[in-house]
Structure 1
């Protein structure tokens, strides 16, 4: 039988699953309520979800829009933070606000007991009970590897946006990057300096400039309401369809000028040969899958929380299963939801929903979080 996790009290008001940016934002707002809560994080360190991405990663949002509540990220506000800078910032944030986090622990099963409480079975073989759960596993969970990968020979090295780090780990010879989103374009451009590179695109991308009329484009997007337009609004639906990404000198024309061979959608793979939608084919030595990230939700065993295909159901992060909430999902409420600049507002919204549900009574606290951080 699983042992009870050493948490006081035995039944938490709120269990937060995931200690990335979404989980930390939830923790910040929960700490102001007086509710008992704990954050469970599978990684050894806070911020490891960023440290595990490719070495040269630079965020496309400026520092002044890349921060959690009450604590700006250090450095030039108009500059763009790098991967490790963001990871260290998140670790510092958790320490600064003294958020209760259990590291190196995964939730392997979440279910509802007959008592109405949630039970989370942990990888440590312990279990924890909670009245409410926030699943805050965020955007980058598991790289999508399509079925075509199974057709490749063992002679072809296969990496993904999750496992690629830098050009040194890529064998000499032709490289195919599959997926021309922001990460796919960045990786292809980096590898083009040392390898012959092909980039396979899926559909037409909308690119926007980094600067417009002397100001960062994110300032204009924020002022115009593009970032916070509700998902179901006409503007939100338009942005979801466009899937815009920043240009950063990575337009198809610019990539072609770097010597990158642009190819249409990949449709099949057979040993060392890949075939594209236009029936053209080529031989590859390495394939890097950059088709985004998917989610694993088989561990969530809560009646009424999923559709017939096993996908989580929610409205603005609120599940139809009472007491279950989500954080950090792309387009959870708006475009900003999947970015660090939006998780603070989403966390405030979700915590307000928890308090308004009437199932948990908050305990007033006299201390002020801002004062605590400034000690």
Structure 2
């Protein structure tokens, strides 16, 4: 135990970690290796989101070899496969056991404030604590986004958010409107479509990518091209990349593309972005064609980058190809009668907003996102971990969290040493 912990008593820790998901546990692993005392505070149970907020057919969209939590790499016999939900939970359970973090579950953090003279005061549902440093590892997906128009929809229509979707059988009879075509929306729409449900899909601006190209998983090519090592400051969009929607693709049944045009040719009905609801009618923007074209352009652009890599390094591979649309909308339909379409349920898949209202620190921008450099904020002793593109593409995923946690552990150790000298 550090000198500061001995000075302040049993409710004081050198570091308090807020959040017991893979980010918080990764931080605990690194702090244990550095010999720094700490406490993990978790509002529910460790890694609960993987058990409670994933549908039955959920699987990874990145290959298993990218599961590289610190000290706990994927050790199965299918590195290029895609773990299903229960396999992911089993992998995480092994990580939980290995880390054996000092954690208090069912303890929600209500307020974090800075203390005079340095450090932080942490108020929780289980009492108050103090800490020299705080790591916020609660992720950035807190509040489901549901538009206010949802309040005006008929009570007969069941509305759920993507985190609450489980399977097609759990929804009422009738057609299903899926709003949003990011990773969750596209995969849930596919899940319903494969089950034979009538699906209407409001297509947004999410890009897509190929699952396999020129004989390999696209992720393998991008890893060779060092895309996953690119820091946010090196990305062409700089910090703007953090606002990007993830590409839709799936690892289901061994992995494949998700082609919304193919679904449309099989009976799924596609619309542009949902804009409003009035007098029994859903209203859509006339941008379906544009959104599909833009998604395909990204698909082809990624593949073209792989083509250049193959040519540059004289790699033997199957021939290049360019995606050609298998279906094109005949017109831009901007309205849908809910009753005539027999819609019994709507699944909102338009993302989440961050909610750090409990953290009293001047580090947030107008969108509620913290300002930081690789997780280190302008407030001394306050850090973030596990956010998308915190440092690289993998920062919010199993693949990059170890590097970020190790970096922050080094910064925390440096500051702990400074505090000890000052004391």
**Cα distance change of structure 1 residues 154 and 73 upon mapping to structure 2, 3 Å threshold:** same
User: For the Cα contact (< 8 Å) 2:231–2:392, is it kept in 1?
Assistant: yes
TM-score, normalised with respect to structure 2: 0.78
User: For the Cα contact (< 8 Å) 2:354–2:369, is it kept in 1?
Assistant: no
Task: Find the counterpart in structure 2 of residue 179 from structure 1.
Answer: 180
Q: Which moved more, 1:83-92 or 1:292-301?
A: 83-92
Task: Find the counterpart in structure 1 of residue 299 from structure 2.
Answer: none
Q: Which moved more, 1:263-272 or 1:10-19?
A: 263-272
User: For the Cα contact (< 8 Å) 1:198–1:261, is it kept in 2?
Assistant: yes
Deviation, 1:207, is: 2.1
| 1:48 corresponds to 2:52 | no
Task: Find the counterpart in structure 2 of residue 367 from structure 1.
Answer: none
- Give a deviation string over 1:118-145, Cα, whole Å, max 9, x none: 1111122x11111000000124433221
| 1:349 corresponds to 2:407 | yes
Deviation, 1:88, is: 2.9
CA distance in 1, matches of 2:172, 2:368: 38
- Give a deviation string over 1:153-182, Cα, whole Å, max 9, x none: 211110111111111221111211011011
Which of these residues, 360, 365, 382, is aligned with residue 324 of structure 1? 382
Deviation, 1:361, is: 4.9
- Give a deviation string over 1:28-57, Cα, whole Å, max 9, x none: 11111111111111123x221111121111
Q: Which moved more, 1:78-87 or 1:126-135?
A: 78-87
Task: Find the counterpart in structure 2 of residue 282 from structure 1.
Answer: 337
Task: Find the counterpart in structure 2 of residue 95 from structure 1.
Answer: 97
CA distance in 2, matches of 1:196, 1:360: 62
Deviation, 1:360, is: 4.5
CA distance in 2, matches of 1:77, 1:19: 26
Deviation, 1:274, is: 1.4
Which of these residues, 267, 283, 287, is aligned with residue 275 of structure 2? 267
Normalized per residue, the structure richer in helix is 2
**Cα distance change of structure 1 residues 50 and 190 upon mapping to structure 2, 3 Å threshold:** same
| 1:212 corresponds to 2:213 | yes
- Give a deviation string over 1:273-308, Cα, whole Å, max 9, x none: 311113322313211110122211111112x22235
CA distance in 2, matches of 1:116, 1:129: 10
TM-score, normalised with respect to structure 1: 0.87
**Cα distance change of structure 1 residues 235 and 246 upon mapping to structure 2, 3 Å threshold:** farther
| 1:245 corresponds to 2:304 | no
Gaps of 5+ in 2: 1-7, 251-255, 287-333
CA distance in 1, matches of 2:35, 2:237: 35
Task: Find the counterpart in structure 2 of residue 121 from structure 1.
Answer: 123
CA distance in 2, matches of 1:200, 1:137: 30
Deviation, 1:232, is: 2.3
Q: Residue 245 of structure 1 aligns to a residue in which SS?
A: coil
**Cα distance change of structure 1 residues 242 and 89 upon mapping to structure 2, 3 Å threshold:** closer
Tell which structure's C-alpha radius of gyration is larger.
2
**Cα distance change of structure 1 residues 64 and 316 upon mapping to structure 2, 3 Å threshold:** same
**Cα distance change of structure 1 residues 319 and 65 upon mapping to structure 2, 3 Å threshold:** same
RMSD: 2.3
Task: Find the counterpart in structure 2 of residue 3 from structure 1.
Answer: none
User: For the Cα contact (< 8 Å) 2:108–2:124, is it kept in 1?
Assistant: yes
CA distance in 1, matches of 2:75, 2:268: 36
CA distance in 2, matches of 1:232, 1:314: 12
**Cα distance change of structure 1 residues 108 and 226 upon mapping to structure 2, 3 Å threshold:** same
Q: How does 1:1-375 map to 2 (within 5 A)?
A: 9-44=10-45, 46-52=46-52, 53-75=54-76, 76-124=78-126, 126-192=127-193, 193-203=195-205, 205-235=206-236, 237=238, 243-246=246-249, 248-270=256-278, 272-278=280-286, 279-283=334-338, 284-302=343-361, 304-307=362-365, 310-357=368-415, 358-361=417-420
Q: Residue 134 of structure 2 aligns to a residue in which SS?
A: strand
Structure 1: which 4+ aligned runs deviate by more than 6 Å? none
Q: Residue 184 of structure 1 aligns to a residue in which SS?
A: helix
CA distance in 2, matches of 1:345, 1:236: 22
Say how many residue pairs are matched.
352
- Give a deviation string over 1:234-275, Cα, whole Å, max 9, x none: 446496658433363311222213421111010012475311
Q: Residue 275 of structure 2 aligns to a residue in which SS?
A: strand
